[in-house]
Amino acid sequence: MSNLLHFTLGALLEDTARRFPDNDALVYPDRGLRLSYREFDALCDRVAKGLMAIGVKKGEHLAIWATNVPEWVVLQFATAKIGAVLVTVNTSYKSAELEYVLNQSDSTTLFLVQGFKDTNYVETVNTVVPELTSAPFGQLACAKLPFLKNVIFLGGGAPAGMLAYAELEKLGEKITDAELAAVKASLDEHEVINMQYTSGTTGFPKGVMLTHHNLVNNGFNIGECMKFTEQDRLCIPVPFFHCFGCVLGVLACVTHGSTMVPVETFNPEAVLKAIEAERCTAVHGVPTMFIAEMEHPAFRKYDLSTLRSGIMAGSPCPIEVMKRVIRDMHCSEITITYGQTESSPGITMTRTDDPIELRVASVGRALPDVEVKIIDIETGAALPPGKQGELCTRGYHVMKGYYKMPEETAKAIDGDGWLHTGDLAVMDENGYCKITGRIKNMIIRGGENVYPREIEEFLYTHPKVADVQVYGVPDAKYGEQVMAAVKIKDGVSCSEEEIKDFCRGRIANYKIPYYVKFVDEYPMTASGKIQKFKLREMAIRELRLEEAETA
């Protein structure tokens, strides 16, 4: 029986605020900010009116370029309440990428913070939009970005040409409740409400169009699988611009009346502090975040005993890391979620009561109301349990398509509605899936298919290895050789030969890394995905393999 919800994002929040008005909705302990669901919903209404006051109409695209600030969560619902589409911009983008997204998405409005890490967003925007500083607010005419009209600053004292976010609420006072209600009444749950640009590990980023129906139901089912109730409190250190933050985090909470405790920018100690201060019952993160938290010198001084669950996702989850999270962070019900932006994002998930063997060795089974099958890469035929092929999925969670890219959409979603993930997987007879790699990540060495994930899992059992990434590099004789980029644990030393010796006799010779490189960090997307193609490019340069690549 289907348990799908039929809410718009705005109606969902209003329903939760009716059911749990006094429950904490949004808490930033370091800012002293604490909003109940009643207060949070009322604030979203005021900001929605402010957007109407500056002329934002249903269906318009509004981009947000910001870290996990409180305004981000408010805008996620305020835009949805008037049917405007929130376009999420990667916090690590630079000027060319920002220009591409604003242009490709036809965004009329940009919200931004001062900056992030080494990028000053205000300066970057002024470079991309030189007309901004001399244009009165709302009258911007940008040659390169003809749709862009408004730039709104999330902070005090707006720079030239921008509107201070605080002014939005004031401007909204001229919009009546009846006017807002009329817009809400015109919305449909199957309309696009969110656009996220895929990380762009290959080619130009594509704008994934997601609907109210996609997001509300994925958030709800994710929360169900973690057994969330109004008693749960989730620490969210993963970025909001990615589905991990705004769906698996925000919407898993809002669908259940749970409390959101975001961390503005990832810092392992800030996460530990927030969990202790707010007695969080769950925490999300990519494996590298969990590793950083547990390896932090102050880890033992924080009380994490209230933790129960959470999600580890975003990249393959090493078994050893998973065991440590269960043991040392008290997350006995930690889950693994697998998916991609195109599927809102969750496809499969482990359950809190799955035996640990399944939770560490698989990415779980299909979420409720979601279909999953494994197909033969050559023929497209469905494969039986135990056979490796491409994982495909169908259901309420599949995107509407890529914005203005019908050919790319047709490549991703077939005529029967199946989304082709590009991921290699094996499904067992109970429906539990194991991701074995990306079709593109597969290494072919001398005719043998080598799956990086298998070698990574093996090397994680080495006592000195903290993290490892395996990928293929060109080779004149074999086509490709196996390379491992290894992070070793603090305070130990390790040699290339030690790593190879550890493998000899334990995994097939053709799987043993031919090259071993020791690294302190990996090139990553802002959402925590390790960019193996960059590791490969670096290796080609450092090892002078350019000729082998073209051979």
Task: Report how far residue 534's alpha carbon sits from residue 144's, in angstroms, rounded to the nearest whole number.
Answer: 30
Average pLDDT over residues 515-525: 93
**pLDDT band, residue 288 (cuts 50/70/90):** confident
Q: What is the pLDDT of residue 479?
A: 85
pTM above 0.85, yes or no: yes
Query: Quick check: 200 pLDDT over 80?
Result: no
Q: Strands of 367-418 (E only): list them.
A: 370-375, 389-395, 401-402
Q: Do the Cβ atoms of 309 and 334 come closer than 8 Å?
A: yes
Q: What is the pLDDT of residue 550?
A: 67
Query: Quick check: 448 pLDDT over 60?
Result: yes
Orientation of helix 121-128 relative to helix 95-105, angle to 10°: 60
Query: Quick check: 37 pLDDT over 90?
Result: yes
- Span 121-153, pLDDT tens digits: 999 999 999 999 999 999 999 999 999 999 999
- Span 370-416, pLDDT tens digits: 999 999 988 999 999 999 999 999 999 999 999 999 999 999 999 99
DSSP H or E stretch at residue 548: helix 546-550
Average pLDDT over residues 330-341: 95
Quote the mean pLDDT of the chain: 94
Q: How many residues does the chain have?
A: 551
Average pLDDT over residues 468-485: 92
CATH number belonging to the domain at 443-550, selected among 3.30.300.30, 1.25.40.10, 3.30.420.40, 3.40.630.30: 3.30.300.30
User: What SS3 class is residue 519?
Assistant: coil
Q: What is the pLDDT of residue 198?
A: 85
Give domain limits for the chain: 32-197, 443-550
Q: Which residues neighbour 96 within 8 Å (Cβ) at sequence distance 6 or greater?
A: none
Determine the topology of domain 32-197 in CATH: Rossmann fold (3.40.50)
Percent of the chain with pLDDT over 70: 98
Query: Quick check: 453 pLDDT over 90?
Result: no
Q: What is the pLDDT of residue 551?
A: 60
φ, ψ of residue 222 to 5 degrees: the values are: -65, -45
**pLDDT band, residue 419 (cuts 50/70/90):** very high
Q: Which residues neighbour 325 within 8 Å (Cβ) at sequence distance 6 or greater?
A: 290, 294, 312, 331, 334
Task: Report how far residue 441's alpha carbon sits from residue 424's, in angstroms, rounded to the nearest whole number.
Answer: 9
Q: Which residue would you say has higher pLDDT here, 202 or 549?
A: 549
- Span 295-335, pLDDT tens digits: 999 999 999 999 999 999 877 677 788 899 999 999 999 99
Task: Report how far residue 92's alpha carbon sits from residue 227's, in angstroms, rounded to the nearest whole number.
Answer: 33
Average pLDDT over residues 101-119: 96
- Amino acid 270 reads A
φ, ψ of residue 357 to 5 degrees: the values are: -60, -40
Query: Quick check: 107 pLDDT over 50?
Result: yes
- Span 79-101, pLDDT tens digits: 999 999 999 998 888 898 899 99
**pLDDT band, residue 201 (cuts 50/70/90):** very low
Q: Do the Cβ atoms of 91 and 106 come closer than 8 Å?
A: no
